[in-house]
């Protein structure tokens, strides 16, 4: 009965202090799972951490694909329709009115085969460049390897890309353009386009975190870039003496490669492909270094 009225002696469950850190014997602890410190110099890439969280990459892509076509009446059919409509306009304006040559192919097929990788690239680059700012609510609230955000952003449009191959194959059937074994090289060129898009975005996305000017620059950049690439006109239209300089644009190799892989045209210029790969890798690697350097301040600045 006594406890009912009186306070029990000091709660026995509480452990005694002392709580000062002092020199702690850490021998019992083993090495920490992670050490948090101010980082200096070059950060490691830590690809293992990304591999460990690969399911998250899948879910981020899955989210973007799902959300993209929610509450639309025809859903993913937009992925088929929108490039088709654009190419029809190209065919009327550039092929019909301006009479731009198309290396002996029906212009609409020619333009479509170039426009597909371009659309993928433009979407991947555009999404990835804005991806950090677009996912600010995640960056400030939870930790995961930040690289996964632009990585997911360049992966998502690949789904649309695959769907938009369907109308191309339809057109090829209609115009009786037969694919060749070169088709097998297609994934390689898609990967190259992804490399370039990711590399560029790894530079621009962190800058976008600090200066939203990037948001306004990217659409213009993409548009200008398209006219510097052989999307609506063939490479043969570019004067011979300018070809190498022109091919420093890594998308030249990608688009030429796509035409070859899809339509079985003459094999693409080896220099263009080599330059494309070299520039693409250079942009990706420098982009990775830059991204890792900027990464540590994302949550503070965004």
Partner 1 sequence: MGDVAIRVENLSKAYKIAATKYRHDTLRDQLMDGVRSLLRPRASRRASRETFHALRDVSFEVKRGEVVGIVGQNGAGKSTLLKILSRITEPSSGRAEIYGRVGSLLEVGTGFDSELTGLENIYLSGAILGMRKAEIDRKLDEIIAFSEVAKFIDTPVKRYSSGMYVRLAFAVAAHLEPEILIVDEVLAVGDAAFQRKCLGKMGDVAQAGRTVLFVSHNMAAITRLCTWGLWLDKGYLRDFGATDDVVAKYFSAGVQALGELTFRDRLPAAPSSEYVRLLGLRVRSHRGEVTASLDARSPFDVEIEYEILRPATSLRVGFRITAHDGTVLFSSTDSDGGGETDRIPGTYVSRCTIPGPFLNFGQYFLSVGSDTPMIQSHFLLERALAFNVEQTGGIGGHISDGRQGVLRPVLPWTVQRLA
Nearest residue to 47 via CA among 292, 240, 219: 292
Applying CB under 8 A, the span of 2-10, 82-90, 165-173, 268-276 interacting with partner 1 comes to: 2-10
Told to check if 213 binds partner 1 by CB under 8 A, we report: yes
**Cβ atoms of residues 250 and 166 within 8 Å:** no
Q: How far is the CB of 227 from partner 1 (least distance, A)?
A: 25
Q: Pick between residue 31 and residue 241 the one whose CB is nearest to partner 1.
A: 31
> How many chain residues bind partner 1 (CB under 8 A)?
51
Which secondary structure element, helix H or strand E, spans residue 146, and what is its range?
none
Distance CA 109, CA 154 (A): 25
Residue count (the chain): 302
Distance CA 29, CA 79 (A): 54
Choose, by CB under 8 A, the member of 1, 12, 73, 141 that binds partner 1.
Answer: 141
CA-CA-CA-CA dihedral for 178, 258, 47, 122, to nearest 10: -130
Angle at CA of residue 276, ends 168 and 254, nearest 5°: 0
Nearest residue to 154 via CA among 204, 224, 80: 204
Told to check if 89 binds partner 1 by CB under 8 A, we report: no
Strand, coil or helix: 68: helix
Q: Which residue has the tokens 């959300």?
A: 67
Q: How far is the CB of 197 from partner 1 (least distance, A)?
A: 23
Choose, by CB under 8 A, the member of 1, 73, 97, 142 that binds partner 1.
Answer: 142
Q: Pick between residue 56 and residue 88 the one whose CB is nearest to partner 1.
A: 56
Contacts of partner 1 in 12-71 (CB under 8 A): 13-15, 17, 19, 21, 24, 26, 28-30, 32-39, 53, 55-56, 58-59, 62-63, 66-67, 70-71
Q: Which residues bind partner 1 (CB under 8 A)?
A: 3-7, 13-15, 17, 19, 21, 24, 26, 28-30, 32-39, 53, 55-56, 58-59, 62-63, 66-67, 70-71, 137-144, 210-213, 296-297, 299-300
């Amino acid at each position: 009965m006594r406890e009912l009225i009186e306070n029990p002696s000091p709660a026995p469950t509480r452990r005694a202090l002392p709580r000062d850190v002092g020199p702690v014997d850490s021998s019992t602890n083993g090495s920490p799972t992670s050490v948090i410190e101010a980082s200096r110099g070059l950060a490691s890439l830590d690809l293992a951490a990304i591999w460990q969280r690969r399911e998250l990459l899948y879910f981020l892509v899955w989210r973007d694909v799902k959300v993209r076509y929610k509450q639309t009446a025809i859903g993913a059919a937009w992925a088929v329709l929108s490039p088709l409509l654009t190419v029809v306009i190209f065919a009327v304006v550039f092929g019909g009115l301006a009479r731009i040559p198309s290396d002996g192919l029906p212009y609409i097929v020619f333009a479509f085969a170039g426009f597909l990788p371009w659309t993928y690239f433009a979407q991947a680059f555009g999404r990835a460049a804005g991806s950090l700012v677009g996912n600010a609510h995640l960056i400030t609230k939870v930790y995961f390897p930040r690289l996964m955000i632009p990585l997911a952003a360049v992966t998502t449009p690949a789904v649309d890309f695959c769907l938009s191959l369907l109308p191309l194959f339809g057109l090829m059937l209609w115009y009786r353009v037969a694919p060749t074994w070169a088709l097998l090289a297609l994934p390689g060129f898609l990967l190259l386009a992804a490399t370039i898009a990711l590399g560029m975005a790894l530079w621009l996305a962190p800058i976008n975190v600090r200066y939203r000017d990037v948001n306004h620059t990217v659409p213009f950049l993409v548009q200008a870039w398209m006219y510097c690439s052989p999307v609506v006109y063939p490479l043969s239209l570019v004067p011979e003496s300018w070809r190498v300089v022109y091919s420093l644009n890594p998308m030249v190799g990608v688009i030429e490669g796509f035409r070859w892989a899809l339509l079985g045209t003459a094999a693409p210029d080896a220099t263009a492909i080599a330059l494309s790969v070299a520039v693409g890798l250079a942009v990706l690697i420098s982009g990775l270094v830059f991204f890792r350097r900027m990464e540590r301040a994302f949550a503070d600045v965004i």
